[in-house]
Amino acid sequence: MSKEEDNITVTIKIGNTRNNDLIKVGKEYNFNVRRNTFICELLDFFIACFDSEEEKMEIKKYVIFSKGMIRLYNKNIIMDIFEDPEASDLDVYDRDETIFYAILI
């Protein structure tokens, strides 16, 4: 049985910013999503974490990268970055494959 419908907790960390008063570098956001969640869906959840329109407009400029600094595109799914897509949650967590970075480029 495939694990793509299983939920997993992922973290997005802010990697950089133009204005630390607006978007805080290093702040982490956690999401409990399915392994087959598209990056564009994860970005929508991420944007919804911000209150002001100014923050939302700024965060929409960010790009998601894996911990290994591989750029993820909207049509990628979370488990695309997993070394073994069928690995247990603990194995995925041990390899830090659930940590993503939001980078302003």
CB 102 within 8 A of CB 59: yes
User: Per the domain annotation, does 2 fall within a domain?
Assistant: no
Q: Is residue 24 part of a domain?
A: yes
Q: Is residue 86 part of a domain?
A: yes
Label residue 2 by pLDDT band (50, 70, 90).
confident
pLDDT at 1 over 90: no
Full residue range of the structural domain in which residue 61 is found: 7-104
Q: How many domains does the chain have?
A: 1
CA distance 93 to 3: 15
Cα–Cα distance, 31 to 33 (Å, whole number): 6
CATH number for 83 = 3.10.20.90
AA letter at 20: N
Tens digits of per-residue pLDDT, 34-70? 999 999 999 999 999 999 999 999 999 999 999 999 9
Torsion of CA 18, 74, 11, 49, to 10 degrees: 60
Q: What is the pTM of this model?
A: 0.93
Identify the pLDDT of residue 26: 97
pLDDT for 16: 97
Is 42 part of any domain? Answer: yes
Q: What is the enclosing helix (H) or strand (E) of 57?
A: helix 53-59
pLDDT of residue 30: 98
The two structure tokens encoding residue 87: 């690995």
In a domain, 1, yes or no: no
Helix (H, G, I), strand (E, B) or coil at 104: strand
Residue 15 covered by a domain: yes
